[in-house]
Amino acid sequence: MCWMNDQRKRILTTLALLLPVAVLLYTSRAALLPFIVGTLFAYLLLPLVNWVDSYAPSGLRGRRWWRGFMVFVVYLLAAAVVLGSLALIIPAVVAQVNLLTQRLPELARKAYSAAPQVMRAWVDGYNCVPENIRQTLQHSMADAVQPILSALPTGAFRALSAILSTLSFMLGLLVLPLWTFYLLRDEPQVSTLFYRLIPPAYRADAESIQALVNLTLGSYLRGQLILCLSVGIMFTLGLLLLGVDYALLLGTIAGILEVVPALGPFLGTIPAVLVALATSPSQLLKVIVLALAVQQIENTFLVPQVTGETVNLHPALVMLLLVVGSAVGGIWGVILSVPLTALIRDLVHYLYLRLADEPLAPHAALARVRATHSA
């Protein structure tokens, strides 16, 4: 009983110390954005750093200066890939953004006038559709397109301004690469120190929980990054083959919006549909078919290989999570609500197995939770 009382006192003391720290972090959350971004980058790059470090000679492995050198090499490779890609893409995207901005009022008028004609051509292909229904569909299309195109310039300028201001803020913070570098270099020492702070009886559970975080959150974030790049490339190449204007810009938008769970493919298609409607209405149906083809390739080939069944949430629940996440955390809530919910589900499942009347061992509970992903 004395041991239980001492243990309870330690837990209460720890919670009492952590509470003001949590309040302080919450109140300064805006200033902590670079550290959060740096931690995310470190988390994404950590498997690559560990993989490179695993091929080091046994005499060098584990030395801090050697790991720092490995992190520096990975930094150079990542910077070369990112900066090289941006050097090729950013100037062309900026040029297309400027051109699209100048032509936006003209394209809006063309899209608004072309929408009823496109609807008429599609409906006329089916002689069985009564004339009154055809007229209703045409008017509905016109009424639906007008508010979208009216709000498009304002929304585009606001989104572009927000993105540029965020990028300027992030690029101006020199602490970001240093923070990421130290996290990657000292990860083994930090991990060892962290587990030393945990009582030995709970270290196996802590390791299992860390494995669940890597399985769910890490796999999801890295998978989404690969999906965004893949969808952006496929959509850009498809639009180039179709001869649609602003193909690189529209493909980049589609790739970025892919980060939004469930709704990303639909949202990424809207700008391409509107541009095709304004510049080449005859290509509109082809653009829609291209979007459906990219989505099918993504769902059939990419998603099973990249993310597998990591999230495995019902689409209706995903829609609810997007609404709640946007209300609570804005754009970050939309992006992270789905993987965080999946992570909480797995943690609850793990704790249920560990706290059952006949509890499983930590490794057995972890294996049971992992099995549910492949079931």
- Give the span between the Cα atoms of 316 and 220, in whole angstroms: 19
Name the burial class of residue 321, with classes exposed (0-12), middle (13-18) and buried (19+) by CB atoms within 10 angstroms of its CB: buried
Tell which residue, 80, 48, 44, has the closest CA to residue 220.
Answer: 44
Which residues have CB under 8 Å from 42's CB, separation 6+? 179, 180, 183, 184, 187
The pLDDT assigned to 24 comes to 78
The pLDDT assigned to 1 comes to 44
The pLDDT assigned to 172 comes to 45
pLDDT tens digits in sequence order for the chain, 375 residues long: 444 556 566 667 777 777 887 777 777 666 666 677 777 778 878 888 888 877 777 777 767 788 888 888 887 887 788 777 777 777 877 787 777 777 767 766 666 666 555 545 544 554 555 555 555 555 555 555 555 545 545 555 555 455 444 544 454 456 677 778 888 888 888 888 888 878 888 888 888 888 888 878 777 888 888 888 899 999 999 999 988 888 888 998 899 888 887 778 888 888 888 888 777 777 888 888 999 999 888 878 777 766 655 677 777 787 888 888 878 877 778 778 888 888 888 899 998 888 888 888 888 888 888 887 665
Tell which residue, 306, 77, 256, has the closest CA to residue 184.
Answer: 77
DSSP-assigned letters across all residues of 47-110: HHHHHHHHTS-TTTTT-HHHHHHHHHHHHHHHHHHHHHHHHHHHHHHHHHHHHHHHHHHHHHHH
CB 108 within 8 A of CB 150: yes
The pLDDT assigned to 65 comes to 80
- Work out the number of other CB atoms within 10 angstroms of the CB of residue 288: 14
The pLDDT assigned to 115 comes to 57
Residue pointed to by tokens 């704790």: 351
Q: Is the pTM of this model over 0.85?
A: no
DSSP-assigned letters across all residues of 200-256: HHHHHHHHHHHHHHIIIIIHHHHHHHHHHHHHHHHHHHHHHHHT-TTHHHHHHHHHH
The pLDDT assigned to 245 comes to 85
Q: Which two tokens stand for residue 365?
A: 């509970």
